Protein backbone atom coordinates (compact mmCIF):
# COMPACT_ATOMS: atom_id res chain seq x y z
CA UNK A 1 0.00 0.00 0.00
CA UNK A 2 2.77 2.36 0.94
CA UNK A 3 4.52 1.69 -2.33
CA UNK A 4 1.33 2.41 -4.22
CA UNK A 5 0.87 5.71 -2.40
CA UNK A 6 4.51 6.64 -3.09
CA UNK A 7 4.00 5.93 -6.77
CA UNK A 8 0.90 8.09 -6.79
CA UNK A 9 2.80 10.95 -5.17
CA UNK A 10 5.64 10.68 -7.68
CA UNK A 11 3.17 10.50 -10.52
CA UNK A 12 1.34 13.57 -9.22
CA UNK A 13 4.60 15.52 -8.92
CA UNK A 14 5.63 14.58 -12.45
CA UNK A 15 2.24 15.53 -13.83
CA UNK A 16 2.26 18.82 -11.91
CA UNK A 17 5.77 19.61 -13.12
CA UNK A 18 4.76 18.74 -16.63
CA UNK A 19 1.71 20.92 -16.47
CA UNK A 20 3.74 23.74 -14.94
CA UNK A 21 6.33 23.37 -17.68
CA UNK A 22 3.64 23.37 -20.35
CA UNK A 23 2.21 26.51 -18.79
CA UNK A 24 5.68 28.03 -18.81
CA UNK A 25 6.13 27.24 -22.49
CA UNK A 26 2.69 28.67 -23.22
CA UNK A 27 3.63 31.94 -21.54
CA UNK A 28 6.68 32.35 -23.77
CA UNK A 29 4.50 33.64 -26.59
CA UNK A 30 2.08 35.63 -24.42
CA UNK A 31 2.82 39.37 -23.99
CA UNK A 32 2.92 40.15 -20.28
CA UNK A 33 2.61 43.29 -18.13
CA UNK A 34 1.85 43.41 -14.41
CA UNK A 35 3.27 46.78 -13.39
CA UNK A 36 1.03 49.77 -12.84
CA UNK A 37 1.24 52.94 -14.86
CA UNK A 38 2.40 53.44 -18.41
CA UNK A 39 6.08 52.54 -17.91
CA UNK A 40 8.45 50.59 -15.75
CA UNK A 41 12.20 51.03 -15.35
CA UNK A 42 14.46 48.12 -14.42
CA UNK A 43 18.09 48.85 -13.54
CA UNK A 44 20.38 45.86 -14.08
CA UNK A 45 23.74 46.40 -12.35
CA UNK A 46 26.95 45.25 -14.04
CA UNK A 47 27.93 41.60 -13.45
CA UNK A 48 24.37 40.59 -12.53
CA UNK A 49 23.80 36.91 -13.36
CA UNK A 50 20.98 35.73 -15.65
CA UNK A 51 18.88 34.25 -12.84
CA UNK A 52 19.22 37.42 -10.75
CA UNK A 53 18.16 39.43 -13.82
CA UNK A 54 15.10 37.22 -14.08
CA UNK A 55 14.21 37.88 -10.44
CA UNK A 56 14.45 41.64 -11.03
CA UNK A 57 12.17 41.40 -14.06
CA UNK A 58 9.63 39.32 -12.14
CA UNK A 59 9.72 41.70 -9.14
CA UNK A 60 9.06 44.65 -11.44
CA UNK A 61 6.13 42.95 -13.17
CA UNK A 62 7.85 42.64 -16.55
CA UNK A 63 8.11 38.81 -16.64
CA UNK A 64 5.41 36.49 -15.31
CA UNK A 65 7.57 34.12 -13.24
CA UNK A 66 11.06 32.67 -12.84
CA UNK A 67 10.22 29.41 -14.62
CA UNK A 68 9.09 31.19 -17.78
CA UNK A 69 12.32 33.19 -17.69
CA UNK A 70 14.51 30.09 -17.25
CA UNK A 71 12.75 28.21 -20.04
CA UNK A 72 13.14 31.16 -22.41
CA UNK A 73 16.83 31.55 -21.57
CA UNK A 74 17.47 27.83 -22.03
CA UNK A 75 15.60 27.75 -25.34
CA UNK A 76 17.36 30.82 -26.77
CA UNK A 77 20.81 29.99 -25.39
CA UNK A 78 21.65 33.66 -24.76
CA UNK A 79 22.02 33.71 -20.98
CA UNK A 80 25.61 35.03 -21.21
CA UNK A 81 24.79 37.82 -23.66
CA UNK A 82 22.45 39.89 -21.47
CA UNK A 83 23.75 43.43 -20.97
CA UNK A 84 23.61 45.61 -17.87
CA UNK A 85 21.95 49.03 -17.79
CA UNK A 86 18.63 50.70 -17.13
CA UNK A 87 15.79 49.48 -19.33
CA UNK A 88 12.39 51.05 -19.94
CA UNK A 89 9.31 48.91 -20.55
CA UNK A 90 6.15 50.65 -21.71
CA UNK A 91 3.94 47.86 -23.08
CA UNK A 92 3.22 44.14 -22.64
CA UNK A 93 6.10 42.10 -24.09
CA UNK A 94 6.84 38.42 -24.59
CA UNK A 95 9.77 37.04 -22.65
CA UNK A 96 11.56 36.39 -25.97
CA UNK A 97 11.21 40.07 -26.87
CA UNK A 98 12.57 41.04 -23.46
CA UNK A 99 15.61 38.80 -23.88
CA UNK A 100 16.26 40.27 -27.35
CA UNK A 101 16.05 43.76 -25.83
CA UNK A 102 18.63 42.89 -23.18
CA UNK A 103 20.92 41.15 -25.66
CA UNK A 104 20.87 44.25 -27.90
CA UNK A 105 21.54 46.45 -24.89
CA UNK A 106 18.64 48.79 -25.65
CA UNK A 107 19.14 50.73 -22.44
CA UNK A 108 17.07 53.81 -21.79
CA UNK A 109 18.91 57.02 -22.71
CA UNK A 110 17.83 60.64 -23.06
CA UNK A 111 19.36 62.63 -25.89
CA UNK A 112 20.24 66.31 -26.00
CA UNK A 113 21.78 68.16 -28.96
CA UNK A 114 23.96 71.25 -28.67
CA UNK A 115 24.49 73.04 -32.02
CA UNK A 116 27.82 74.65 -32.82
CA UNK A 117 28.40 78.22 -31.70
CA UNK A 118 26.53 78.26 -28.38
CA UNK A 119 27.81 79.83 -25.20
CA UNK A 120 27.66 78.06 -21.84
CA UNK A 121 24.66 80.18 -20.91
CA UNK A 122 22.83 79.14 -24.08
CA UNK A 123 23.81 75.49 -23.59
CA UNK A 124 22.40 75.65 -20.08
CA UNK A 125 19.06 76.74 -21.51
CA UNK A 126 19.12 73.85 -24.00
CA UNK A 127 19.87 71.48 -21.11
CA UNK A 128 16.90 72.77 -19.13
CA UNK A 129 14.56 72.78 -22.14
CA UNK A 130 15.40 69.11 -22.73
CA UNK A 131 14.08 68.33 -19.26
CA UNK A 132 17.46 67.14 -17.98
CA UNK A 133 17.74 69.56 -15.06
CA UNK A 134 18.08 73.20 -14.08
CA UNK A 135 20.13 75.58 -16.22
CA UNK A 136 21.95 76.72 -13.08
CA UNK A 137 23.17 73.15 -12.44
CA UNK A 138 24.69 73.04 -15.92
CA UNK A 139 26.38 76.43 -15.47
CA UNK A 140 27.77 75.41 -12.08
CA UNK A 141 29.14 72.14 -13.48
CA UNK A 142 30.78 74.07 -16.34
CA UNK A 143 32.95 75.82 -13.75
CA UNK A 144 34.48 72.52 -12.57
CA UNK A 145 37.99 73.53 -11.44
CA UNK A 146 39.48 70.09 -12.13
CA UNK A 147 38.33 70.14 -15.76
CA UNK A 148 39.42 73.77 -16.16
CA UNK A 149 42.91 73.03 -14.93
CA UNK A 150 43.15 70.09 -17.31
CA UNK A 151 41.86 71.87 -20.42
CA UNK A 152 42.72 75.53 -19.84
CA UNK A 153 44.29 76.57 -16.52
CA UNK A 154 43.80 80.24 -17.35
CA UNK A 155 40.04 79.99 -17.91
CA UNK A 156 37.33 80.92 -15.42
CA UNK A 157 34.99 78.32 -16.91
CA UNK A 158 34.84 75.85 -19.79
CA UNK A 159 33.60 78.30 -22.41
CA UNK A 160 34.71 76.94 -25.79
CA UNK A 161 35.74 73.53 -24.45
CA UNK A 162 32.30 71.88 -24.25
CA UNK A 163 32.10 70.20 -27.61
CA UNK A 164 28.81 70.74 -29.51
CA UNK A 165 27.27 67.37 -30.34
CA UNK A 166 24.38 65.02 -29.52
CA UNK A 167 24.75 63.26 -26.18
CA UNK A 168 22.79 60.26 -24.91
CA UNK A 169 22.45 60.14 -21.14
CA UNK A 170 21.11 57.63 -18.62
CA UNK A 171 18.03 58.75 -16.71
CA UNK A 172 19.96 59.55 -13.53
CA UNK A 173 22.86 61.36 -15.20
CA UNK A 174 23.73 64.70 -13.61
CA UNK A 175 24.85 67.96 -15.19
CA UNK A 176 28.38 67.15 -14.03
CA UNK A 177 28.22 63.81 -15.87
CA UNK A 178 27.23 65.60 -19.06
CA UNK A 179 29.91 68.28 -18.69
CA UNK A 180 32.57 65.57 -18.31
CA UNK A 181 31.31 63.84 -21.47
CA UNK A 182 31.38 67.13 -23.42
CA UNK A 183 34.90 67.96 -22.25
CA UNK A 184 36.10 64.46 -23.10
CA UNK A 185 34.53 64.79 -26.54
CA UNK A 186 36.46 68.04 -27.09
CA UNK A 187 39.70 66.30 -26.17
CA UNK A 188 38.93 63.49 -28.62
CA UNK A 189 38.08 65.87 -31.49
CA UNK A 190 41.01 68.20 -30.86
CA UNK A 191 43.49 65.57 -31.98
CA UNK A 192 47.27 65.60 -31.56
CA UNK A 193 47.48 66.49 -35.26
CA UNK A 194 45.40 69.63 -34.70
CA UNK A 195 47.47 70.53 -31.64
CA UNK A 196 50.67 70.12 -33.65
CA UNK A 197 49.26 72.26 -36.49
CA UNK A 198 48.39 74.97 -33.99
CA UNK A 199 51.87 74.85 -32.47
CA UNK A 200 53.41 75.04 -35.94
CA UNK A 201 51.38 78.20 -36.53
CA UNK A 202 52.60 79.72 -33.27
CA UNK A 203 49.32 79.24 -31.39
CA UNK A 204 48.58 77.67 -28.04
CA UNK A 205 45.54 75.42 -27.56
CA UNK A 206 43.72 78.34 -25.95
CA UNK A 207 44.47 80.63 -28.91
CA UNK A 208 43.29 78.00 -31.39
CA UNK A 209 40.00 77.58 -29.53
CA UNK A 210 39.50 81.34 -29.28
CA UNK A 211 40.12 81.82 -33.00
CA UNK A 212 37.88 78.84 -33.84
CA UNK A 213 35.06 80.35 -31.77
CA UNK A 214 35.27 83.57 -33.81
CA UNK A 215 35.20 81.59 -37.05
CA UNK A 216 32.21 79.57 -35.81
CA UNK A 217 30.23 82.74 -35.07
CA UNK A 218 31.14 84.48 -38.33
CA UNK A 219 30.12 81.87 -40.91
CA UNK A 220 28.29 78.57 -41.19
CA UNK A 221 29.57 77.88 -44.72
CA UNK A 222 32.20 75.13 -44.88
CA UNK A 223 33.96 76.78 -47.84
CA UNK A 224 34.27 80.09 -46.00
CA UNK A 225 35.68 78.93 -42.67
CA UNK A 226 39.31 78.65 -43.86
CA UNK A 227 38.98 82.04 -45.59
CA UNK A 228 37.63 83.75 -42.46
CA UNK A 229 40.48 82.10 -40.54
CA UNK A 230 42.93 83.59 -43.03
CA UNK A 231 41.44 87.10 -42.63
CA UNK A 232 41.95 86.98 -38.87
CA UNK A 233 45.38 85.39 -39.13
CA UNK A 234 46.43 88.06 -41.63
CA UNK A 235 45.18 90.82 -39.32
CA UNK A 236 46.94 89.33 -36.31
CA UNK A 237 50.17 89.09 -38.28
CA UNK A 238 50.18 92.82 -39.16
CA UNK A 239 48.77 93.84 -35.75
CA UNK A 240 45.51 95.04 -37.24
CA UNK A 241 42.41 94.99 -35.04
CA UNK A 242 40.16 91.97 -35.61
CA UNK A 243 36.98 94.10 -35.40
CA UNK A 244 34.76 91.04 -35.01
CA UNK A 245 31.11 91.84 -34.30
CA UNK A 246 30.39 88.59 -32.40
CA UNK A 247 33.01 89.52 -29.80
CA UNK A 248 31.09 92.73 -29.07
CA UNK A 249 27.82 90.81 -28.81
CA UNK A 250 29.46 88.37 -26.40
CA UNK A 251 30.77 91.24 -24.28
CA UNK A 252 27.34 92.86 -24.19
CA UNK A 253 25.69 89.54 -23.26
CA UNK A 254 28.13 89.04 -20.40
CA UNK A 255 27.17 92.48 -19.12
CA UNK A 256 23.44 91.87 -19.65
CA UNK A 257 23.26 94.73 -22.14
CA UNK A 258 22.63 93.03 -25.47
CA UNK A 259 19.21 93.86 -26.92
CA UNK A 260 19.39 91.62 -29.97
CA UNK A 261 20.48 94.47 -32.24
CA UNK A 262 24.13 95.55 -32.53
CA UNK A 263 24.41 99.32 -32.97
CA UNK A 264 27.31 101.53 -33.98
CA UNK A 265 27.44 102.84 -30.42
CA UNK A 266 27.83 99.29 -29.12
CA UNK A 267 31.14 98.99 -30.97
CA UNK A 268 32.63 101.35 -28.38
CA UNK A 269 31.53 99.24 -25.40
CA UNK A 270 34.49 98.90 -23.05
CA UNK A 271 35.30 95.22 -22.59
CA UNK A 272 38.46 93.19 -23.16
CA UNK A 273 36.28 91.01 -25.42
CA UNK A 274 35.53 93.98 -27.71
CA UNK A 275 37.95 93.50 -30.61
CA UNK A 276 37.06 96.93 -31.98
CA UNK A 277 38.68 98.52 -28.92
CA UNK A 278 41.39 96.04 -28.03
CA UNK A 279 43.90 94.49 -30.47
CA UNK A 280 44.62 90.80 -30.78
CA UNK A 281 42.45 87.89 -29.78
CA UNK A 282 39.87 88.33 -27.02
CA UNK A 283 40.84 86.89 -23.59
CA UNK A 284 38.82 83.70 -24.08
CA UNK A 285 36.54 81.80 -26.49
CA UNK A 286 33.16 83.38 -27.18
CA UNK A 287 31.34 80.12 -28.03
CA UNK A 288 31.89 76.39 -28.50
CA UNK A 289 33.38 75.74 -31.96
CA UNK A 290 32.74 72.58 -33.92
CA UNK A 291 35.30 70.34 -35.58
CA UNK A 292 35.32 72.29 -38.89
CA UNK A 293 36.03 75.61 -37.16
CA UNK A 294 38.86 74.06 -35.13
CA UNK A 295 40.37 72.62 -38.31
CA UNK A 296 40.03 75.96 -40.12
CA UNK A 297 41.74 77.82 -37.27
CA UNK A 298 44.94 75.82 -37.76
CA UNK A 299 44.62 75.46 -41.54
CA UNK A 300 43.73 78.93 -42.93
CA UNK A 301 43.29 79.39 -46.66
CA UNK A 302 46.35 80.76 -48.57
CA UNK A 303 44.77 84.15 -49.32
CA UNK A 304 45.72 87.75 -48.55
CA UNK A 305 42.22 89.01 -47.62
CA UNK A 306 41.88 91.48 -44.75
CA UNK A 307 38.17 92.31 -45.01
CA UNK A 308 34.80 90.66 -45.50
CA UNK A 309 31.20 91.78 -45.52
CA UNK A 310 27.91 89.89 -45.60
CA UNK A 311 26.13 89.37 -48.91
CA UNK A 312 22.90 88.95 -46.90
CA UNK A 313 22.42 85.39 -48.11
CA UNK A 314 24.68 83.57 -45.65
CA UNK A 315 27.82 84.17 -47.71
CA UNK A 316 30.46 86.91 -47.60
CA UNK A 317 32.41 89.07 -50.04
CA UNK A 318 36.13 89.14 -49.24
CA UNK A 319 38.68 91.81 -50.14
CA UNK A 320 42.40 92.38 -49.75
CA UNK A 321 42.25 96.20 -49.83
CA UNK A 322 40.10 98.80 -48.13
CA UNK A 323 39.11 100.23 -51.53
CA UNK A 324 37.75 96.86 -52.70
CA UNK A 325 36.08 96.35 -49.34
CA UNK A 326 34.34 99.72 -49.59
CA UNK A 327 32.93 98.71 -52.97
CA UNK A 328 31.60 95.50 -51.43
CA UNK A 329 30.07 97.43 -48.54
CA UNK A 330 28.38 99.80 -50.97
CA UNK A 331 26.99 96.92 -53.04
CA UNK A 332 25.88 94.56 -50.29
CA UNK A 333 24.97 97.00 -47.53
CA UNK A 334 24.08 100.44 -48.88
CA UNK A 335 22.55 99.55 -52.27
CA UNK A 336 21.05 96.25 -51.10
CA UNK A 337 19.19 97.71 -48.13
CA UNK A 338 18.17 100.81 -50.08
CA UNK A 339 16.61 98.55 -52.71
CA UNK A 340 14.91 96.44 -50.05
CA UNK A 341 13.41 99.54 -48.48
CA UNK A 342 12.26 100.87 -51.86
CA UNK A 343 10.65 97.53 -52.75
CA UNK A 344 8.82 97.45 -49.42
CA UNK A 345 7.38 100.93 -50.03
CA UNK A 346 6.42 100.13 -53.63
CA UNK A 347 4.24 97.21 -52.58
CA UNK A 348 3.44 93.97 -54.44
CA UNK A 349 3.39 94.03 -58.24
CA UNK A 350 5.93 96.82 -58.54
CA UNK A 351 8.83 96.33 -61.01
CA UNK A 352 12.10 95.15 -59.46
CA UNK A 353 14.43 97.93 -58.36
CA UNK A 354 16.91 99.23 -60.93
CA UNK A 355 20.35 97.73 -60.61
CA UNK A 356 22.83 100.39 -59.55
CA UNK A 357 26.48 99.70 -60.35
CA UNK A 358 28.73 99.47 -57.34
CA UNK A 359 31.01 102.40 -56.61
CA UNK A 360 33.33 103.29 -53.75
CA UNK A 361 31.46 104.39 -50.65
CA UNK A 362 32.99 107.62 -49.41
CA UNK A 363 31.67 107.22 -45.89
CA UNK A 364 31.95 103.43 -45.61
CA UNK A 365 33.14 102.60 -42.13
CA UNK A 366 36.44 100.69 -42.52
CA UNK A 367 35.66 98.97 -39.22
CA UNK A 368 33.03 96.86 -40.97
CA UNK A 369 35.80 94.29 -41.49
18-104: CATH number: 3.30.1490.480
More confident residue, 51 or 367: 51
Q: CB neighbours of 13 closer than 8 A, spacing ≥ 6?
A: none
More confident residue, 368 or 280: 280
Domain boundaries, the chain: 18-104, 110-189, 192-305
Residue 367: is its pLDDT beyond 50? no
Question: Do residues 254 and 271 make contact, with C-beta atoms less than 8 angstroms apart?
Answer: yes
Question: Do residues 281 and 211 make contact, with C-beta atoms less than 8 angstroms apart?
Answer: yes
pLDDT at 261: 92
Q: Which residue, among 114, 104, 111, 147, has the nearest Cα to 131 in the 3D structure?
A: 111
> pLDDT per residue over 39-84, tens digit each?
999 999 999 999 999 999 999 999 999 999 999 999 999 999 999 9
Q: What span, in angstroms and rounded, lies between the C-alpha atoms of 293 and 220? A: 9
Mean pLDDT of 242-261: 95
Give the confidence band of 6 by pLDDT, cuts at 50, 70, 90.
low
Q: Which residue, among 73, 76, 55, has the nearest Cα to 65 in the 3D structure?
A: 55
Q: What span, in angstroms and rounded, lies between the C-alpha atoms of 116 and 164? A: 5
SS3 string, the chain, reads: CHHHHHHHHHHHHHHHHHHHHHHHHHHHCCCECCCCCCCEEEEECCCCCHHHHHHHHHHCCCCCCHHHHHHHHHHHCCHHHCCCEEEEECCCECHHHHHHHHHHCCCCCEEEECCCCCCHHHHHHHHHHCCCCCHHHHHHHCCCHHHHHHHCCCCCCCCCCCCCCEEEECCCCCHHHHHHHHHHHHHHHCCHHHHHHHHHCCCCHHHHHHHHHHHHHHCCCCCCHHHHHHHHHHHHHCCCCCCCHHHHHHHHHHCCCCCCCCCCHHHHCCCCCCCCCCCCCCCCCCCCCCHHHHHHHHCCCCCCCCEEEECCCCCEEEECCHHHHHHHHHHHHHHHHHHHHHHHHHCCCCCCCCCCCCCCCCCCCCCCC
Residue 130: is its pLDDT beyond 50? yes
Residue 155: is its pLDDT beyond 70? yes
Q: What span, in angstroms and rounded, lies between the C-alpha atoms of 140 and 85? A: 28
> pLDDT per residue over 198-241, tens digit each?
999 999 999 999 999 999 999 999 999 999 999 999 999 999 99
Amino acid sequence: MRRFISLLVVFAVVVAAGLFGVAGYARLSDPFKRYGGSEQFVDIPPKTGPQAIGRLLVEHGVVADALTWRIALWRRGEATRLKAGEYRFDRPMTVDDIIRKLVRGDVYLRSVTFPEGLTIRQMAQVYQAAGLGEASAFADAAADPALRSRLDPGARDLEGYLFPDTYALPRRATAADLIRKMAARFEAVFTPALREAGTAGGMSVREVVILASLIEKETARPDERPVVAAVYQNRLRIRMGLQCDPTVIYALERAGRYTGNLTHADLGFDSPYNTYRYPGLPPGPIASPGRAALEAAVNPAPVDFLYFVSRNDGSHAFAATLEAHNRNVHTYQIVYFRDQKAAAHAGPGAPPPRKIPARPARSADPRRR
